[in-house]
Amino acid sequence: MTIMLVSLILGAFAALYYYLTQNYKYWQKRGIPCADGALPGVGHMLPAICFRTSFPELFNKIYNDNKNRSMVGFYNFTSPSLLVIEPQLVKTVLQTNFASFNKPIFPIDPDLDPLTALNPFALTGDKWLAARKRLTYAFSSMRLKILLESVKPVCVLFENYLNNKLSKTEKIEVELKDLFSKFTAQVVAGAGFGVDGYCFNEEKENLSFQKIGAVILEPNLRTKIATMLIFLVPSLNKIFKISFVPKHVDNFFRTLVAELMEQRRKDAIPRNDFLHLMTELEKQDGIKFDVELLTAQALSFVLDGYETSSTVMSLVGYQLAVHQEIQKKLREEVMSVFKKYDGEITYEGLKEMTYMDQVLNESQRIIPTIGFQGRICTEEFELRGSDGLICRVQPNTEIRISIDGLHHDSRYWNNPEIFDPERFNSENKQNIDRFAFLPFGEGPRICPGMRMALLQIKAGLATLLRKYSLELSPKTKLPLQMTPGVILASPKGGLWVKIRQL
């Protein structure tokens, strides 16, 4: 009896083991090398699901362990996935053969997240094309000049806020992500919806847009679990049914857009914000007014633009606090441009801040805000690596790209661990491999908000640098370590600096 029971248990374990590992010969059978260490059921994802390492770090490790190959297989739980390593294969996937790799890796369930499912990040086919067309227009040069008019008052509020804080004391200690989130959330409220975001108003903190945005993307436990389930194990999320955007935030945006539209119908005053533009474009395209689509587009301004931009600003602020000589040089540029334009922030002036572009690029190279990307193969395609590896990628195979890996690869960057904005000066930038530098992605799905992001980031940083200086606070935990379980780069313990009036 005991022998039978033991045999049964052993048999069950063997069957389970077989079931959980049956796919793990997939890459071997195709002659493609596979990353070491696949575990039954979880494949290579254990460090990420235990929150031991961040997603970018996970792909960065696979990249570095297989650096001399053009590509390497790995297992996302039991699904065979491919990490492309060579920039020329990255180009094939993101750009040249986009038709075979056009599906994004974010499986949003429209029943759980109806608004996020309409975000271009998650769309494919004609719906994606239409959404992109509208966004490309929304961020054209002509439109950016208009949007800058909504950014300028935020710069004034930002400056007043800092002046106020520094009127009673010589220096203040702040966490940069928190500080810049106030700025970008206030921009989103004004430029996106034409409303006050109350981000610099401590009396109305509860109503602040910063709080609303933070609920969706801040690295707390809910975000980590939601990210894990939605992006890594969507099959399990069919049971847990966790939405990416919490229900009350979904409701907040639906109510906000409905109320604003009602008010606008009554007063019929033309506005300059994103919401107004989207309404106009829908009319032009002959789309029947659809409040769901409009709310989704407005929410996309928050989801895609607010947290990414404040993360970039905080990482740049950190680099400036560490590299005082670069901060000084950048301030000189900012001061000379302000002088030329009578102390005003202008579209032309921001364009002329080319050293600022170098610093932004270098900061995004050394710590990219989004450290990995991916696509799902939509039709069979043969990838040919320069090392002779040939992979016939099957539909539904997930392709991943390690942005962190590419940005720190000494084959494309001299002394990659050194922060040096001169890599991006007019002479040196000619030598950069476009597909080894991907802070905003590349190809037909390249970030459509890039120019808007850079505009507000440059305006915010210029406002800060012209009157204040930054120095690193000992509260910043060095070396920086990224918080696991979230998509955007988020240093553990935050980026603390001391700010003084010049």
Residues that bind ligand HEM (CB under 6 A): 94, 104, 120-121, 132, 135, 300-301, 304-305, 308-309, 312, 369-370, 373, 439-442, 445-449, 452-453
By beta-carbon proximity to ligand HEM, the closer residue of 101 and 413 is 101
C-alpha–C-alpha distance, residues 134 and 361, integer Å: 27
- Are 74 and 44 contacting, i.e. CB atoms less than 8 angstroms apart? yes
- For the chain, the residue count is 502
N-term to C-term CA, the chain: 84
By beta-carbon proximity to ligand HEM, the closer residue of 45 and 312 is 312
By beta-carbon proximity to ligand HEM, the closer residue of 367 and 389 is 367
By beta-carbon proximity to ligand HEM, the closer residue of 302 and 334 is 302
Residue showing the smallest CB distance to ligand HEM in the complex: 449
For every residue of 245-294, DSSP letters joined together read S-HHHHHHHHHHHHHHHHHHHHH-----SHHHHHHHHHHHTTPPP-HHHH
Q: Closest approach of Cβ 273 to ligand HEM, in Å?
A: 12
By beta-carbon proximity to ligand HEM, the closer residue of 75 and 121 is 121
Q: Closest approach of Cβ 251 to ligand HEM, in Å?
A: 22
Q: Closest approach of Cβ 296 to ligand HEM, in Å?
A: 11
Q: Closest approach of Cβ 200 to ligand HEM, in Å?
A: 20
Q: At what angle do helices 176-187 and 450-467 cross, to 10 degrees?
A: 120
Place of tokens 């799905």: 445
By beta-carbon proximity to ligand HEM, the closer residue of 40 and 107 is 107
By beta-carbon proximity to ligand HEM, the closer residue of 314 and 469 is 314
Q: What angle do CA 46, 372, 100 make, to 5 degrees?
A: 105
| Per-residue b or e along 21-48, where b marks 16 or more CB atoms closer than 10 Å to that residue's CB | beebebbeebebebbeebeeebbbbebb
C-alpha–C-alpha distance, residues 305 and 140, integer Å: 16
Q: Closest approach of Cβ 429 to ligand HEM, in Å?
A: 18
Which backbone phi and psi does 401 adopt, to 5 degrees?
A: -130, 130
By beta-carbon proximity to ligand HEM, the closer residue of 174 and 312 is 312
Q: Closest approach of Cβ 25 to ligand HEM, in Å?
A: 31
Q: At what angle do helices 291-322 and 450-467 cross, to 10 degrees?
A: 40
Q: Closest approach of Cβ 126 to ligand HEM, in Å?
A: 13
By beta-carbon proximity to ligand HEM, the closer residue of 42 and 188 is 188
Q: Closest approach of Cβ 128 to ligand HEM, in Å?
A: 6
| Per-residue b or e along 426-456, where b marks 16 or more CB atoms closer than 10 Å to that residue's CB | eeeeeeeeebbbbbbbbbebebbbebbbbbb
C-alpha–C-alpha distance, residues 176 and 157, integer Å: 17
Q: Closest approach of Cβ 40 to ligand HEM, in Å?
A: 31
Q: Closest approach of Cβ 354 to ligand HEM, in Å?
A: 18
77: left (phi over 0), alpha (psi -120 to 50) or beta: left
By beta-carbon proximity to ligand HEM, the closer residue of 42 and 436 is 436
For every residue of 224-242, DSSP letters joined together read HHHHIIIII-HHHHHHH--
Place of tokens 């271009």: 120
By beta-carbon proximity to ligand HEM, the closer residue of 135 and 320 is 135
Largest CA distance in the chain: 92
DSSP 104: -
Q: Closest approach of Cβ 182 to ligand HEM, in Å?
A: 16
Q: Name the CA dihedral angle for 356, 488, 189, 178, rounded to a multiple of 10 degrees.
A: -80
